[in-house]
């Protein structure tokens, strides 16, 4: 469990009022006194510090340059009342002066994010997955909280059978992670939970913190997804330990693989490779640069009695070798990690997508399928499509359909850039 020391907020040290971008904090990690767990209760009407913006907004992320001033009483992770320069109330959000995304709005208008609000927001998220999407009938792994899509920016929660895997991307959500995990565990009747921080918590939010968990959490668990079984290690791996966002795409892919020679590039834990095998693939080759991922993928293939060749090698190098040897495949899955993490990386990242797809198209047989994916939220579906079109032009492709994450990854219409996963299903005709 995390420490339970009294919050530093009670200190008598005076803080200067925040004046927009004029004040930037030290890049020394945040005082651990601010990292203790907090209850979901966030005070009463009129008791919150006020953050004044230069103009109104309907976007849940408020960047530093948009802020005019904030009351000096606001401490890291506090809920603040957000108002426009003319005094109009915008909503309530959480405050972190160390982050460029300085305020994350939770509720709009004069709705206070109190205990009732938190309970209702979490209950609505569970209701969508269980009773509307009916996900427990087809899978034991799915997303329960999808950040802005569920009105909780900075928070992602996946359920893996008996374990909730919580990942926090903001200081405020880390401070409330234990209370959230316990409430969700009660709502879903799940006995275990694990909390992990995002990989960029220091760079983006200015804090460093260890993960923590409930008691007696198993080190691994097997979940069923469709007809496949996967072993998940909640304390290891990328993100929350497994990529639930590709679930529908994995199941769809199996329909294209009967009797085919399949190449799974950037295979991670082998989700596409396993489904290709269950779909009757004649031959499967899976490639990843992460040696640990390859070992996980091998275990998943063995669990499902799928025969596949797993290679620890860079996808670029492998495809160039196949190109040199004139080796071609019937089906290729290209699902690289995020290649664009900031707007400054957009150009270089787009070039990498171009190079990867150009190589992949060159080693597909005429009539073969390329499933190419991007998980870079800063690259729109249209820009990704145009990049892939240019990269694969020599293969005379036709687009069969486009897809993304399932309904357990909802997207708020006022935050469309959070629709990060984009998949193109293309048939190469020459």
Residue 171 has phi, psi (to 5 degrees) of: -60, -45
pLDDT(16) > 50: no
Q: Which of 240, 234, 276 is nearest to 259 (CA)?
A: 276
* DSSP β-bridge partners for residue 83: 52, 89
Give the domain ranges of the chain. 18-108, 115-213, 243-428
pLDDT(68) > 60: yes
DSSP 3-state of 169: coil
- pLDDT tens readout for residues 342-358: 889 999 999 999 999 99
Least confidently predicted of 9-18, 221-230, 337-346: 9-18
pLDDT(420) > 90: yes
State the chain's mean pLDDT as an integer. Answer: 92
Local confidence band at 43 (pLDDT 50, 70, 90 cut-offs): low
- Interhelix angle 381-391/346-362, rounded to 10 degrees, is 40
Query: Which residue, chain included where needed, has tokens 């209950």?
Result: 123
DSSP secondary structure string for all residues of 12-51 = ----PPB-GGG----SSPPPGGGGS---S----TT-S-EE
**Does residue 401 contact residue 381 with C-beta atoms inside 8 Å?**
no
Taking the CA of residue 380 as centre, how many other CA atoms within 13 Å lie in the half-sphere pointing to its CB?
5
pLDDT score, position 7: 36
DSSP 3-state of 407: coil
Helix intervals (H) in 254-343: 271-278, 291-303, 315-324
- The rounded distance, in Å, linking the Cα atoms of 65 and 7 is 28
- pLDDT tens readout for residues 95-131: 999 999 999 999 999 999 999 999 999 999 999 999 9
Mean pLDDT score, 280-306: 96
Q: Which of 220, 213, 211 is nearest to 193 (CA)?
A: 213
- The rounded distance, in Å, linking the Cα atoms of 229 and 220 is 13
- pLDDT tens readout for residues 158-177: 999 999 999 999 999 999 99
Q: Rounded to the nearest 10 degrees, how much is the dihedral formed by the CA atoms of 179, 185, 187, 189?
A: -160
pLDDT(42) > 60: yes
pLDDT > 90: percent of the chain? 87
Extract the tokens encoding 94.
């959480």
- The rounded distance, in Å, linking the Cα atoms of 218 and 231 is 12
Say if residue 302 is exposed, middle or buried (CB neighbours under 10 Å; 0-12, 13-18, 19+).
middle
pLDDT(6) > 80: no
pLDDT(282) > 50: yes
Local confidence band at 17 (pLDDT 50, 70, 90 cut-offs): very low
Local confidence band at 237 (pLDDT 50, 70, 90 cut-offs): low
Local confidence band at 199 (pLDDT 50, 70, 90 cut-offs): confident
Query: Which residue, chain included where needed, has tokens 């629709």?
Result: 419
pLDDT > 70: percent of the chain? 92
Across 99-214, the runs of DSSP E, i.e. the strands, are 101-108, 141-146, 155-160, 163-168, 192-197, 212-213
pLDDT(155) > 90: yes
From first CA to last CA, the distance across the chain in angstroms is 58
Local confidence band at 26 (pLDDT 50, 70, 90 cut-offs): low
Mean pLDDT score, 222-239: 87
Q: Say if 18-108 and 115-213 have the same CATH topology.
A: no
- The rounded distance, in Å, linking the Cα atoms of 294 and 270 is 8
Mean pLDDT score, 378-402: 96
Query: Which residue, chain included where needed, has tokens 């109190």?
Result: 114
pLDDT(56) > 50: yes
pLDDT score, position 25: 55
Q: Which of 360, 414, 354, 396 is nearest to 379 (CA)?
A: 354
- Topology (CATH level 3) of domain 18-108: 2.30.130
pLDDT score, position 186: 97
- The rounded distance, in Å, linking the Cα atoms of 211 and 209 is 7
CATH superfamily of the domain spanning 243-428: Vaccinia Virus protein VP39 (3.40.50.150)
Provide CB contacts within 8 A for 332, sequence distance 6+.
262, 263, 265, 360, 363, 364, 368, 369, 370, 371
Provide the whole-model pTM.
Answer: 0.90
- The rounded distance, in Å, linking the Cα atoms of 248 and 255 is 12
**Does residue 369 contact residue 391 with C-beta atoms inside 8 Å?**
no
Distance of CA 369 to CAs 143, 329, 425, 426, Å? 28, 9, 7, 6
- The rounded distance, in Å, linking the Cα atoms of 218 and 226 is 23
- The rounded distance, in Å, linking the Cα atoms of 404 and 361 is 21
CATH, domain range 115-213: 3.30.750.80
């Amino acid at each position: 469990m995390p420490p339970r020391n009294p919050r530093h907020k009670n200190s008598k040290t005076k803080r200067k009022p925040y004046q927009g971008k004029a004040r930037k904090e030290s890049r020394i990690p945040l005082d651990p006194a601010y990292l203790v767990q907090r209850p979901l209760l966030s005070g009463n009407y009129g008791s919150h510090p006020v953050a004044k913006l230069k103009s109104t907004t309907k976007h849940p992320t408020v960047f530093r340059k948009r802020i005019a001033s904030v009351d000096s009483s606001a401490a890291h992770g506090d809920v603040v009342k957000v108002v426009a320069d003319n005094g109009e109330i915008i909503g309530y959000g959480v405050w972190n002066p160390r982050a460029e995304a300085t305020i994350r709005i939770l509720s709009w208008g004069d709705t206070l994010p109190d205990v009732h609000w938190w309970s209702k927001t979490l209950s609505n998220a569970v209701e969508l997955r269980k009773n509307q999407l009916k996900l427990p009938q087809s899978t034991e792994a799915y997303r329960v909280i999808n950040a802005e899509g569920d009105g909780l920016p900075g928070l992602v929660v996946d359920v893996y059978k008996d374990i909730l895997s919580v990942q926090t991307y903001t200081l405020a959500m880390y401070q409330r992670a234990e209370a959230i995990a316990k409430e969700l565990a009660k709502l879903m009747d799940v006995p275990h939970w694990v909390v992990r921080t995002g990989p960029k918590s220091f760079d983006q939010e200015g804090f460093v913190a260890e993960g923590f968990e409930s008691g007696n959490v198993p080190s691994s668990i097997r979940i069923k997804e469709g007809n496949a079984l996967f072993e998940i290690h909640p304390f290891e791996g990328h993100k929350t330990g497994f990529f639930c966002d590709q679930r529908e795409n994995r199941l769809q892919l199996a329909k294209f693989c009967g009797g085919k020679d399949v190449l799974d590039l950037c295979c991670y834990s082998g989700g596409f490779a396993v489904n290709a095998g269950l779909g009757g693939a004649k031959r499967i080759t899976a490639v990843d640069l992460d040696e640990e991922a390859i070992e996980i993928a091998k275990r998943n293939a063995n669990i499902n009695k799928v025969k596949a060749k797993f290679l620890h090698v860079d996808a670029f190098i492998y495809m160039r070798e196949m190109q040199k040897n004139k080796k071609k495949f019937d089906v290729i899955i290209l699902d690289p990690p995020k290649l664009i993490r900031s707007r400054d990386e957009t150009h270089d990242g787009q070039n990498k997508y171009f190079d990867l797809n150009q190589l992949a198209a060159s080693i597909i047989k005429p009539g073969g399928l390329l499933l190419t994916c991007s998980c870079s939220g800063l690259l729109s579906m249209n820009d990704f499509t145009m990049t892939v079109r240019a990269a694969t032009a020599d293969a005379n492709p036709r687009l069969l359909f486009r897809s993304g994450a399932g309904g357990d990854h909802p997207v708020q219409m006022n935050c469309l850039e959070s629709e990060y996963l984009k998949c193109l299903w293309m048939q190469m005709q020459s």
